[in-house]
Chain A
Amino acid sequence: FTLPGWKKNKLTYRIVNYTPDMSKEDVDKAIEKAFKVWSAVTPLVFTRIRKGIADIMIAFGTTAHGHCPRYFDGPLGVLAHAFPPGNGLGGDVHFDEDEDWTTGSAGFNLFLVAAHEFGHALGLSHSKDQRALMFPSYAYVSLSEFPLSPDDISGIQSIYGSPPNVPDKRPTTPTSPKTCGSQMSFDAITTLRREVIFLKGRNLWRVYPDNSETERELISAFWPNLPPGIEAAYENTKDQILFFKGNKFWVISGYQVLVGYPKNINTLGFPKSVKKVDAAVCNKNTGKTDFFIGDKYWRFDENSQSMEKGYPRLTVNEFPGISHKVDAVFQQKGLFYFFHESKQWEFDPIAKKVTKEMESNSWFNC
């Protein structure tokens, strides 16, 4: 849904007060960056003023605050709200000061929440698309990604049009991770028959190791109902892939998510204390899957579909040399490849030793 937008493209904003959670510079930066999200895909220009009435007045408040007809509810629950284009409260954005506002993934990222609320201040309603920035529930997404989904872009452009001098092809998303960037890391990696699939944020790369061809796609292009930010993935012994995020997992066969998924990871045998999986790999030779969580791993028997007794165990004991948190892992030609941030380690499970250390993007022929 969209509402009538502003009748002008040049809009002003004013930051009326600040949260003590962040430095003023960080708040200014977060707000400016949040406006840039929308000016990147529309003709809109946002200018900051420091006095008087701006089109978009930005303030932090708690419970009942000023003349606002809505109130906040203390920590969690409602994080912020905004009003559609118009005079008075129209276009204004309020943040709940009882929340923990941050620049990173802890607490609530001010930039991400501000970009969402500015969508309302420009005329957008909530979106039903879980991948959209305008989806009502908060979800942290990697800040190296452009946060607008195609749904957000078509919504805002239906009100204001495209940015000037863009030929009328669909606007490309301004930033996408560069696989050959020096700090490239991955959220999850899995094999799929002869391919290796690398996942990060909303993107996946299909790599054919035999001829080092790569293809980049949106995860949603293959599996529309998978969320961005998959945390672990592995190919099991039945030509299926399992994807993990938080305490949920999906089983995929080809393009289909099997019926009944997502399920809770405790159906695999994890206790309720386990909230997420960092990485997973199925050893094709033994039919056992190792789940890596923190500095420990659990072992799951694919044949009996049950978690083995006596786990979790310390990862470094079974995999000497693998002492970091495991971001992602996969098996290729019998060897395991463990990833942590921009590094990866080749591990020989027979010799039980690391045989090589490489950059995480070594599979991309950079």
Chain B
Amino acid sequence: LPTYPEKVSEEDSKFVQNYLNKFYAIEPDPNQRAWKINAESTDEKLQKMQQFFGLKVTGKPDNETLEMMKKPRCGVPDVGLYG
């Protein structure tokens, strides 16, 4: 089972929020010509990120998820059409 930090520090939760807004926030909406800002909850975005990276999908910022988020990476979003 994934291990959880005792309590997610405020710094970490800001980091998680910022990460999800940056890489999992924009979704294509073919029905409307304009992009629809992704109104999913943080948990749902987190699950999507965990699915993408092949982590256990918990919807919670467990240690492994935080570790993956903190790896240096590309600035292009992981979902949507990165337009």
Contact = CB atoms under 8 A, between A and B. Distances in A.
A78 B81 CA distance: 18
A76 B76 contact: no
Given A128-B54, A130-B54, A136-B23, A77 B82 contact: no
Interface string A96-132: 1001000000001000010011001000011010100
Contacts of B30: none
A108 B54 CA distance: 24
Nearest to B83: A84
A137 B72 contact: yes
Chain A binding surface, main DSSP class: loop
Given A125-B81, A128-B54, A120 B76 contact: yes
A72 to B, nearest CB: 7
Interface string B42-83: 000000000011100000000000001001111110100111
Contact of B81 (A1, A116, A117, A137): A1
A316 interface: no
Interface in A122-174: 125-126, 128, 130, 136-138
A292 B50 CA distance: 34
Given A128-B54, A137-B68, A79 B75 contact: yes
Contacts of A82: 74, 76
Nearest to A2: B81
Interface in B22-41: 22-23
A216 interface: no
A137 B73 contact: yes
Contact of A120 (B54, B68, B73, B82): B82
* Interface size class of chain A, counting residues whose CB lies under 8 Å from the partner chain: 20 to 34
A81 interface: yes
Interface residues of B, number: 16
B77 to A, nearest CB: 8
A136 B83 contact: no
B81 A80 contact: no
A218 to B, nearest CB: 18
Contacts, number: 65
Contacts of B54: 128, 130, 225
- How would you classify the secondary structure of chain B's contact residues: helix, strand, loop or mixed? loop
Given A120-B82, A125-B81, A81 B53 contact: no
A221 B81 CA distance: 31
B72 A117 contact: no
Given A1-B81, A3-B81, A136-B23, A126 B76 contact: yes
Contact of A80 (B71, B74, B83): B74
Contacts of A138: 71-74
Contact of A126 (B22, B68, B72, B78): B78
Nearest to A78: B75
A149 B21 CA distance: 29
Residue among B72, B74, B83 with max Cβ neighbours from chain A (10 Å): B74
Given A78-B73, A138-B72, 14 more contacts: A3-B83, A70-B75, A77-B73, A79-B72, A80-B74, A113-B74, A120-B74, A125-B82, A126-B52, A126-B76, A126-B78, A136-B23, A137-B73, A225-B54
Interface of B: 22-23, 52-54, 68, 71-76, 78, 81-83
24 contacts: A1-B81, A3-B81, A72-B75, A76-B72, A77-B72, A78-B74, A78-B75, A79-B73, A79-B74, A80-B75, A81-B74, A96-B75, A108-B72, A120-B74, A125-B78, A125-B81, A126-B52, A126-B74, A128-B53, A130-B54, A136-B52, A136-B73, A137-B53, A138-B74
Interface of A: 1, 3, 70, 72, 76-82, 84, 96, 99, 108, 113, 116-117, 120, 125-126, 128, 130, 136-138, 225
